[in-house]
Chains A and B, each alone.
Chain A
């Protein structure tokens, strides 16, 4: 098989009709194909939620872990075998609610993984509760007894604040553009996060709103300028910027470990015991 189809598995996704995740799946397959990646050398780690099933729909290795813990597990995989490409997949609940604490540490470590957040501004799998990114009260009443009473967090601003070394936003409705972003995130050396807006057709249909507000970041933006990136991230009342906000080159966790490692040949156990006090 050639082309993006060689990345897709034969399993049919279980997502609702109209779900944004189909667009992400297409973009993902195109990205891996464009990078000529061998799926046997790729691991997709997913959490819990509608995005959690993603690994089954591609031919790569995969690990579907517990809720919110994509980044720690992905970190372990990448360190144990740096020759693998490791890609994390979470929803906005998995990434920003239960797993929110891990993003800042993945950023500090700059572990060389790409992290794709399928952001639908709701908990789709549990039928439409408010998620950390919910910003408009359009979810079903049964799920929000008081309406929306919390403020949304801004994933892009958060990521830039914590110096995530590649920060971008994509849209499931713009597959070609998204595929290019995913390819760039995978190629980026270090922790790369893409907030991918992926409307939940069933419980929080933001499709029209996103279509209306989406605007690509222009070529005049310098993504190495952190302050400018931050301005774009917070100037979002009437539009949603798409594209690469921020990029920073810095050593990865693997590189730092290599640098810090004392390169000696491993001592045999007998010698280690000899270093103990023998009587």
Chain B
């Protein structure tokens, strides 16, 4: 029986082009009609060290990168040894028989040696080892050659016909080599279902940049940092032709400083960074909160603390995002769970920042930034238009006390409305004030804005059984793995469901309380890619209920299996 989906892993030292090969395969798979979900991990160094690209494909929807691979493509012995024990029983390994003439097999795993190097040499293009592998792989599970060729042409089209031709020739040799063995296809994946809607294939960083662009963002200042840099690169592609500004500053402090300055002067401004840069920005986040300057900040989290593991994913900046900095500085914190979230949530962040005149932090991570999936084509009519409430002529109270906490804001150039934005405590006119009552009143005004903002935030999303016994609460990039883990549990006969939190601050406490206090619920598990269980602690501090922590601090995402295993363990524990 054909499988609903398969997991493919390409493993090599960096520099072999497995990322390119993986992306070409993803496009070919989507052209065939399947859904795809990619995951990539690599060392921080430009060359050398182990890396892999994992791609799961099958019938829509594919919500995670899956677990252990069905098919593995390895380019060298080190990669083979490193990944061997991960291959599923009954799995298949395609390896380079040139670089690995003698391979020790494992019972239950089929090995196919393909001479990547010599076949690439045959077309006079020794670097095309990855294309040979791609051809071999396509033959192994039934991607039609014409789809693969189309995808290769698309990828290398701008480099000229010769390059395209050589790459295709190399992939054909790999394809025929496997076909000639007479056993292919080794795997069959269920044919794709009928097309129901227009879908696009897109990465997390592209979706974030596009969301910013769609909202009207016209200013990005940033400093290069893994894994946030692609957002800056993507936004320069989008903003430069439209008259926007992308500025590489000298550090993250000046990056957020320039963005705050631009916003003060009327721009729709943002910055994007990762943990170390986010730490540096902390003081300025307080300034934007105190001076009430709209600002969007993307934190593409990576393993910390300090330099940590720059190219590995983690969800360990939650506390920093919510509480980071001295004093009490209100801010909004959002976390995208899907690639569609990356787009719509980023666009909404501008709306929220402008309306509530405060920093809005988007908690992405390495896994979701690099992830590539198909999603329904984005729709502009679902994006709220950012609008700053501007001061009217004659209104001289920049920080006017209002019920909503929102004070109409002039921008420089507005006639007769000049004011001083400041990080000092101030009165309604913006003049410094150390008056005890004033500090209390102004603090209250700034925090009051969060009450109104809560109604504008995306509430937590429920999934699974309506009267669950085991509940799973998650946040951010783990959404898909949690949903699939819940599905596996339900298939296993466990009454499970999940609640995925999209807005971390302020929290939808009523919805979370309602979920936790369902009469049917016996246990709540909070899976997080960190060591201490930061969301679990947050929930405990607000609800007085300590959830079961499922933490993972390995720099890798959860597989659905890991979520399922924990649900199963807890379920069995409950029965004892």
Complex contacts, B269 vs chain A, CB 8 Å: 76, 80
Min distance, Cβ A229 to any Cβ of chain B, angstroms: 25
Report the bound CA distance from A4 to B243 in whole Å. 37
Min distance, Cβ B504 to any Cβ of chain A, angstroms: 25
B238:A105 contact, CB within 8 angstroms: no
- The answer to whether B542 has its CB under 8 Å from any CB of chain A is no
- The answer to whether B177 has its CB under 8 Å from any CB of chain A is no
B262:A80 contact, CB within 8 angstroms: yes
- The answer to whether A261 has its CB under 8 Å from any CB of chain B is yes
Residue of A nearest to B424 (CB): A64
Report the bound CA distance from A105 to B258 in whole Å. 13
Residue of A nearest to B151 (CB): A277
- The answer to whether B481 has its CB under 8 Å from any CB of chain A is no
Residue of A269, A270, A276 with most chain B CB atoms under a 10 A cut-off: A269
- The answer to whether A151 has its CB under 8 Å from any CB of chain B is no
Report the bound CA distance from A65 to B202 in whole Å. 38
Residues of A55-98 contacting chain B, CB below 8 A: 55-56, 59-66, 69, 71-81, 83-84
A73:B260 contact, CB within 8 angstroms: yes
Name the one of B199, B253, B412 contacting A279, with C-beta atoms under 8 angstroms.
Answer: B199
Known contacts being A76-B258, A262-B241, is A83 close to B422, with CB within 8 Å? no
- The answer to whether A184 has its CB under 8 Å from any CB of chain B is no
Residue of A53, A105, A273 with most chain B CB atoms under a 10 A cut-off: A273
A105:B250 contact, CB within 8 angstroms: yes
B258:A79 contact, CB within 8 angstroms: yes
- The answer to whether A272 has its CB under 8 Å from any CB of chain B is yes
Chain B window 410-448, contacts with chain A (Cβ cutoff 8 Å), 1 for yes, 0 for no: 011111111111111000000110000000000000000
- The answer to whether B31 has its CB under 8 Å from any CB of chain A is yes
Complex contacts, B247 vs chain A, CB 8 Å: 75-76, 79
Known contacts being A39-B418, A55-B420, A59-B418, is A11 close to B431, with CB within 8 Å? yes
Complex contacts, B259 vs chain A, CB 8 Å: 76
Chain A window 36-68, contacts with chain B (Cβ cutoff 8 Å), 1 for yes, 0 for no: 000111010100000001011001111111100
B243:A266 contact, CB within 8 angstroms: yes
Report the bound CA distance from A270 to B423 in whole Å. 40
Residue of A41, A63, A81, A261 with most chain B CB atoms under a 10 A cut-off: A63
Complex contacts, A41 vs chain B, CB 8 Å: 412-413
- The answer to whether B251 has its CB under 8 Å from any CB of chain A is yes
Residues of B368-426 contacting chain A, CB below 8 A: 374, 377-378, 380, 411-424
- The answer to whether B230 has its CB under 8 Å from any CB of chain A is no
- The answer to whether A13 has its CB under 8 Å from any CB of chain B is no
Residue of B nearest to A48 (CB): B423
Complex contacts, A101 vs chain B, CB 8 Å: 250-251
- The answer to whether A208 has its CB under 8 Å from any CB of chain B is no
B261:A76 contact, CB within 8 angstroms: yes
Known contacts being A65-B287, A69-B254, A102-B250, is A273 close to B200, with CB within 8 Å? yes
Chain A window 191-203, contacts with chain B (Cβ cutoff 8 Å), 1 for yes, 0 for no: 0000000000000
* Total chain B interface residues with beta-carbon distance under 8 A: 66
Min distance, Cβ A52 to any Cβ of chain B, angstroms: 8
A276:B201 contact, CB within 8 angstroms: yes
Complex contacts, A45 vs chain B, CB 8 Å: 261
Chain A window 84-123, contacts with chain B (Cβ cutoff 8 Å), 1 for yes, 0 for no: 1000000000000000011001000000000000000000
Residues of B211-266 contacting chain A, CB below 8 A: 213-214, 219, 221, 238, 240-243, 245, 247, 249-251, 253-255, 257-266
A72:B253 contact, CB within 8 angstroms: yes
The secondary-structure label for the interface of chain B is mixed
Report the bound CA distance from A79 to B221 in whole Å. 11
Min distance, Cβ A54 to any Cβ of chain B, angstroms: 10
B253:A266 contact, CB within 8 angstroms: no
A80:B267 contact, CB within 8 angstroms: yes
Report the bound CA distance from A272 to B209 in whole Å. 11
A270:B414 contact, CB within 8 angstroms: no
A64:B420 contact, CB within 8 angstroms: yes
A72:B201 contact, CB within 8 angstroms: no
Report the bound CA distance from A75 to B423 in whole Å. 18
Report the bound CA distance from A193 to B305 in whole Å. 39
- The answer to whether B206 has its CB under 8 Å from any CB of chain A is yes
Known contacts being A66-B287, A273-B378, is A40 close to B422, with CB within 8 Å? no
- The answer to whether A257 has its CB under 8 Å from any CB of chain B is yes
Report the bound CA distance from A76 to B263 in whole Å. 8
B257:A72 contact, CB within 8 angstroms: yes
Report the bound CA distance from A199 to B240 in whole Å. 46
Complex contacts, A66 vs chain B, CB 8 Å: 283-284, 286-287, 423
Min distance, Cβ B446 to any Cβ of chain A, angstroms: 17
- The answer to whether B27 has its CB under 8 Å from any CB of chain A is yes
B249:A72 contact, CB within 8 angstroms: yes
Complex contacts, B380 vs chain A, CB 8 Å: 269-270
Known contacts being A11-B431, A102-B250, A279-B200, is A76 close to B266, with CB within 8 Å? no
Complex contacts, B45 vs chain A, CB 8 Å: none
Complex contacts, B364 vs chain A, CB 8 Å: none
- The answer to whether A264 has its CB under 8 Å from any CB of chain B is yes
A72:B261 contact, CB within 8 angstroms: yes
13 further A-B pairs in the complex, CB-CB below 8 A; given A75-B257, A79-B245: A40-B416, A56-B431, A61-B413, A72-B258, A72-B261, A73-B264, A76-B264, A79-B219, A105-B250, A105-B254, A266-B243, A269-B210, A279-B200
Which 5 A-B pairs rank lowest in CB-CB distance, beginning with the nearest?
A: A76-B261, A72-B257, A266-B242, A72-B254, A76-B258
Task: Show 27 A/B contacts (Cβ-Cβ < 8 Å), sorted by A.
Answer: A41-B413, A61-B413, A62-B421, A62-B422, A63-B264, A64-B420, A65-B287, A71-B254, A72-B221, A72-B249, A74-B261, A76-B219, A76-B260, A76-B269, A77-B265, A79-B247, A81-B413, A84-B412, A261-B240, A267-B241, A273-B200, A273-B378, A276-B201, A277-B201, A279-B198, A279-B200, A279-B201
